[in-house]
């Protein structure tokens, strides 16, 4: 039976279709890891599965030092604390709220610089304009896994002696000019939340190529411990469990195939939406990038077009998401400098369509048809 709108104009999805769908491995594969956990009765505190995941994930991301944490927000906070950041940190207003809230939580002042209109990532020229004597660091986001201008940001950081943290929550597996994106900056952080391409149900990771910073993040994620009866310094509980690590170990061998499936679906969306090519645009993936196809964002000509599409899809039980809206400079606990017109405008016109490795072709065609009907 053909389940497309073309043959059923009143079509509505029987089940809600969210912006993403968590990939879960065959249950028996996960159960094998659980059997070992039960036999050992070692469920947390740096168990063997956590250690194995750290080693395997470090190899996959091509970084010498990686720590598996309980979420990506803690990763950002540890990076801020390990660099002893104070004062102003220049960051992007087009990111998930955790990028900014982590800075505020750690008593830093986020200063927003605008983004590049095509890549959606932090503009190094705007970063340099925002630098003051109080600036101590740059926190940039690889938006939807698209690399920042890492060379440009490095030049600015070195010129003004600033640290760099990359929020790489979406950037699992991304390489830029043949090198892992996680090798740039002082720290990079990864989210392993269930909505992400690679996930451990809940979780995150922090990486560095610096041995001294690795030592800091090692004790900071474990209350500052140096063995059972001594402490290096201030720490927090950033540990994760064997159960979460087990999920990650199930997924790691499948990531290459999952990314390939997403690439096919990504390109099919673009083909299905060719009829409105003059009314929508897409993120420009930076030249030299081996991309991971984390999301499928669509930029409309106006917020009115976006809202019309969103309304039509919601009526059909389909729920795209306005990533990232509102612009972070509008948060009530930050200072809006008014210097981010590109980000402010983009946040009102961008919508991420449902996108995951298991997306059915008929459903993808229906989603595209709803979009076409709303703006043609």
Q: Are 162 and 135 in contact (CB under 8 A)?
A: yes
One domain, residues 290 and 263: yes
**Within this chain, do residues 66 and 190 fall inside the same structural domain, yes or no?**
yes
Last residue of a domain, one of 212, 231, 253: 253
Distance CA 54, CA 368 (A): 39
Task: Report the CATH number that the domain containing residue 287 is assigned in CATH.
Answer: 3.90.1150.10
Same-domain check for residues 35 and 149 = yes
Q: Which of 229, 253, 277 is the last residue of a domain?
A: 253
What local confidence, expressed as pLDDT, does residue 13 receive?
93
- The CATH number covering residue 81 comes to 3.40.640.10
CA torsion sign for 55, 59, 61, 63 is: positive
CA distance 258 to 142: 20
Q: How far apart are CA 206 and CA 74, in angstroms?
A: 9
Two tokens at 21? 């769908």
Question: Which pLDDT band holds residue 337 (cuts at 50, 70, 90)?
Answer: confident
Instruction: Report the percent of the chain where pLDDT is more than 90.
Output: 94
Per-residue pLDDT tens digits for 177-204: 999 999 999 999 999 999 999 999 999 9
Indicate whether 20 belongs to any domain: no
How far is it, in rounded angstroms, from Cα 127 to Cα 129? 5
Number of domains in the chain: 2
218 and 322 co-located in one domain: no
On whether residue 22 sits in a domain, the answer given is: no
**Within this chain, do residues 216 and 204 fall inside the same structural domain, yes or no?**
yes
User: Domain check: are 261 and 243 in the same one?
Assistant: no
Residue range 303-319: average pLDDT? 97
Q: What is the pLDDT of residues 133-173, one digit of tens each?
A: 999 999 999 999 999 999 999 999 999 999 999 999 999 99
The mean of the pLDDT values for the chain is 96
Specify if 21 maps to a domain.
no
Q: Which range marks the domain in which residue 133 is found?
A: 27-253
**Model confidence band, residue 1 (pLDDT cutoffs 50, 70, 90):** very low
The mean-pLDDT minimum among 11-15, 115-119, 154-158, 348-352 falls in 11-15
45 & 161 share domain = yes
Same domain, 260 and 142: no
| Residue 6: predicted pLDDT | 64
Identify whether residues 184 and 75 lie together within a single domain: yes
pLDDT of residue 376: 82
Between CA 28 and CA 34, with CA 30 as vertex, the angle to 5 degrees is 105
181 & 292 share domain: no
- Same domain? 209 vs 237: yes
Q: What is the pLDDT of residues 292-301, one digit of tens each?
A: 999 999 999 9
Listed residues 215, 238, 253: the one ending a domain: 253
Contact 263, 293 (CB under 8 A): yes
């Amino acid at each position: 039976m053909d389940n497309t709108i073309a043959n059923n104009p009143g079509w509505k999805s029987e089940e809600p279709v969210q912006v993403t769908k968590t990939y879960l491995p065959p249950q028996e594969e996960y159960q094998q890891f659980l059997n070992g956990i039960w036999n050992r009765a070692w469920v947390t505190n740096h168990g063997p599965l956590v250690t194995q995941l750290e080693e395997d994930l470090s190899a996959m991301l091509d970084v010498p030092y990686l720590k598996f944490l309980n979420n990506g927000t803690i990763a950002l906070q540890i990076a801020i604390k390990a660099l002893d950041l104070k004062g102003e940190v220049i960051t992007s207003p087009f990111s998930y709220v955790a990028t900014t809230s982590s800075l505020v939580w750690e008593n830093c002042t986020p200063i927003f610089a605008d983004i590049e209109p095509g890549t959606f990532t932090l503009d190094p020229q705007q970063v340099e304009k925002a630098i003051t004597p109080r600036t101590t660091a740059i926190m940039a986001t690889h938006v939807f896994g698209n690399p920042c201008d890492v060379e440009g940001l490095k030049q600015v950081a070195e010129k003004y002696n600033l640290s760099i943290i990359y929020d790489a929550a979406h950037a699992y597996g991304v390489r830029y000019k043949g090198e892992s994106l996680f090798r740039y900056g002082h720290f990079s952080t990864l989210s392993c939340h269930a909505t992400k391409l690679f996930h451990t149900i809940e979780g995150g990771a922090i990486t560095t190529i610096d041995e001294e910073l690795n030592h800091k993040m090692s004790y900071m994620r474990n209350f500052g411990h140096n063995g059972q009866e001594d402490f290096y310094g201030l720490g927090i509980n950033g540990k994760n469990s064997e159960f979460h690590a087990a999920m990650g170990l199930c997924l790691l061998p499948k990531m290459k195939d999952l990314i390939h499936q997403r690439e096919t679906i990504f390109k099919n969306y673009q083909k299905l939406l060719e009829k409105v090519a003059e009314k929508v645009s897409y993120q420009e993936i930076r030249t030299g990038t081996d991309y991971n196809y984390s999301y499928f964002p669509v930029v409309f000509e106006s917020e009115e077009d976006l809202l019309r599409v969103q309304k039509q899809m919601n009526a059909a039980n389909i729920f795209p998401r306005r990533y990232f809206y509102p612009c972070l400079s509008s948060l009530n606990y930050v200072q809006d400098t008014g210097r981010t017109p590109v980000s402010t405008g983009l946040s009102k016109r961008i919508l991420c369509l449902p996108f995951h490795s298991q997306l059915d072709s008929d459903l993808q065609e229906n989603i595209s048809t709803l979009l076409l009907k709303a703006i043609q």
